[in-house]
Amino acid sequence: MTQNSDHTGQPHPDIASLIYDWNEAGNDSAPPETLNIHFVDETLRDGLQSPSIKDPDIDQKIKMLHLMEKLGVHCVDLGLPGSGPRAADDITRLAKEIKDNNFKIKAYCAVRTHPADIKPLIDISQKVGMPIAAAAFIGSSPIRQFAEGWSVDDIIQKSTDAIKLAVDNGLPVMYVTEDTTRAKPDDIRALYKSAIDSGAERICICDTCGYVTPTGVRNLLAFIREIVAETGSDIHIDWHGHNDRGLGLANSLAAVYAGVHRVHGTMLGIGERVGNASLDQILVNLKLNGAIDNDLTALAEYCELVHEHCHGPLPPNYPVMGADAFRTATGVHAAAIIKAEKKGDHWLADRVYSGVPAGDFGKEQVIEIGFMSGLSNVKYWLQKHGIDGTEEELAKIAEELFAVAKSKQENLSDSEIHEIIDKCKSKALSS
């Protein structure tokens, strides 16, 4: 469902006449207007497992945590407490930050189904004085079983022992089956039922290798809902996806609309191999569909932090957050935006050539000057940047900028534009 207001919350009276929404037309049923979906941010754990990513300083992690809270993220994976002293120290600081600020966001840590991972988490939880859930993970697919030399009975034994250790020490448990999307139905049933019987409060379906398609997501979730119904327990289901086939976002949205209770992701999609599902893109799409009403104006700030301090890649054409997402130098595009702004209609200007309203996500429309620009681009740029002068002087500057732009093979940078403006002004003074 296309949103009918700008980031100020002001509705536009002519939405129905200005945008025909094929997402809601035809035979395919539209998604519900709002969903009770919760979000898990894996940036500080699974995101940092990328071989190209930097582990940020704790101060930056704390800034990210505050932005998660501001964006309405419901849960954060604080890290792997069994991976070393630095990880344990950072997890402790982050957990204390949550408690001291009385944040709404909940916390868990990823742990192997092994006492060496669970005992440090018990210690941290007791030290901070707050429950930190254990996301206890173990491989479930036959290919993983073959590689490890495990039987299903081995996996069940490791899992139930770990779950009981955590539960007996006051930790909530989410049971995580790695590679669920390549696991056999009978194995999935046996693993989940034994985990639930042992005290797990949640189960997490993992597309660990980015293997599944949206059709597979729907098939798998229908089967797992049957398993949960068979147990008679009020067990919630999480979805955790990766992006190896480029389907991370599509699969996550399929999981949301198939009825999972929580969906996981990382900012900018950082993570193992080619990365996790992009949490920023999940949030954007659910906001645009009208499924959530979170204030996402701080999303750009969070993504910039991840880009700067984790070295998360942010190419210019990255959706919504990339430098080119709302930037144009094309004459016909710019002219339409300029005409909308002249009407005094911010809502219109933010959508006339953009399927995503920039203002809703902490961004803005940018008009530049380049070889495909019209003269209106140039005049708009001068006005927007407060370039002063007489009408005649500005006309000459605009003509010179337009002529130079047409001779170039790429857009003019701001520094190039200012250099041309200075030359024009100097020439005018000398004459």
Listing DSSP states for 176-228 in one string gives: EEETGGGS-HHHHHHHHHHHHHTT-SEEEEEETTS---HHHHHHHHHHHHHHH
Average pLDDT over residues 273-283: 98
Cα–Cα distance measured from residue 357 to residue 349, given in angstroms and rounded to the nearest whole number: 9
Q: How far apart are CA 322 and CA 328, in angstroms?
A: 13
Answer whether residue 15 shows pLDDT above 90: no
Is residue 209 within 8 Å of 237, Cβ to Cβ?
A: no
Token pair 């699969």: residue? 251
pLDDT band at 127 (very low <50, low <70, confident <90, very high): very high
pLDDT of residue 347: 87
| 185-217 pLDDT, tens digit each | 999 999 999 999 999 999 999 999 999 999 999
Q: What is the number of other CB atoms lying within 10 angstroms of the CB of residue 213?
A: 15
Mean pLDDT of 317-325: 96
What pLDDT band is residue 2 in, cutting at 50, 70 and 90?
very low
**For residues 160 and 190, is the Cβ–Cβ distance under 8 A?**
no
Bridge partner list, 111: 136
Query: How do beta strands 75-77 and 38-41 pair?
Result: parallel
CA 193 to each of CA 60, 153, 180, 318, 348: distance values in angstroms, whole numbers, following the listed order: 40, 13, 14, 41, 53
Place of tokens 């919350």: 9
Q: Could you tell me if 277 and 265 are in contact, meaning their C-beta atoms sit under 8 angstroms apart?
A: yes
Q: Which residue has the higher pLDDT, 2 or 282?
A: 282
3-state secondary structure of 252: helix
More confident residue, 72 or 35: 72
> Among the listed ranges 4-13, 236-245, 318-327, which one has the minimum average pLDDT value?
4-13
pLDDT given for residue 12 in this prediction = 66
For the residues 97-118, what does the mean pLDDT come to?
97
How does pLDDT run across 336-380, given as a tens digit for each residue? 888 888 888 888 889 988 999 999 999 999 999 999 999 888 998
Coil/strand/helix, residue 75: strand
The model's pTM: 0.91
The confidence band for 76, taking pLDDT boundaries of 50, 70 and 90, is: very high
The pLDDT tens digits of the residues spanning 376-413 come to 889 989 988 999 888 888 999 999 999 999 999 999 99
Q: What are phi and psi of 160, to 5 degrees?
A: -65, -35
pLDDT band at 315 (very low <50, low <70, confident <90, very high): very high
Across 281-294, average pLDDT: 95
| Cα 224 to Cα 218: distance, rounded to the nearest angstrom | 10
Other Cβ atoms closer than 10 A to 399: 13
CA dihedral 389, 390, 396, 401 (to 10 degrees): 30
Exposure class string for 258-283: b at 16+ Cβ within 10 A, else e: bebebbbbbbbbbbbeebbbbbbbbb
In 3D space, the residue among 150, 116, 120, 144 whose CA is nearest the CA of residue 132 turns out to be 120
Whether the CB-CB separation of 92 and 127 falls below 8 Å is answered with yes
Is residue 420 a contact partner of residue 378, using CB atoms and an 8 Å limit? no
Q: What is the pLDDT of residue 356?
A: 94
Helix (H) or strand (E) holding 426: helix 414-430
How far is it, in rounded angstroms, from Cα 310 to Cα 56? 6
Place of tokens 């007489």: 390
Average model confidence (pLDDT) for the chain?
A: 92
Q: What is the mean pLDDT of residues 123-140?
A: 97
Q: Given CA atoms 311, 293, 174, 229 in this order, what sign does their dihedral have? A: negative
pLDDT in tens, 217-240: 999 999 999 999 999 999 999 999
Determine contact, residues 61/48, Cβ cutoff 8 Å.
no
pLDDT over threshold 80, residue 112: yes
Q: Residues with Cβ < 8 Å from 113, sequence gap 6 or more?
A: 136, 137, 138, 158, 159, 161, 162, 163
Residue 9 has pLDDT above 60, yes or no: no
Task: Give me 30's structure tokens.
Answer: 């539209």
Please, is 241 exposed, middle or buried when counting C-beta atoms within 10 Å of its C-beta (0-12, 13-18, 19+)?
Answer: buried
The stretch 259-276 carries a mean pLDDT of: 97
Q: For the chain, what percent of residues have pLDDT higher than 70?
A: 94
> Would you call 261 helix, strand, or coil by DSSP?
coil
Amino acid 193: pLDDT: 97
Statement: residue 10 has pLDDT above 60: no
pLDDT value at residue 345: 83
Confidence at residue 28, expressed as pLDDT on a 0 to 100 scale = 57
Strand pairing partners for 258?
A: none
Domains of the chain: 31-309 (3.20.20.70), 327-430 (no CATH)
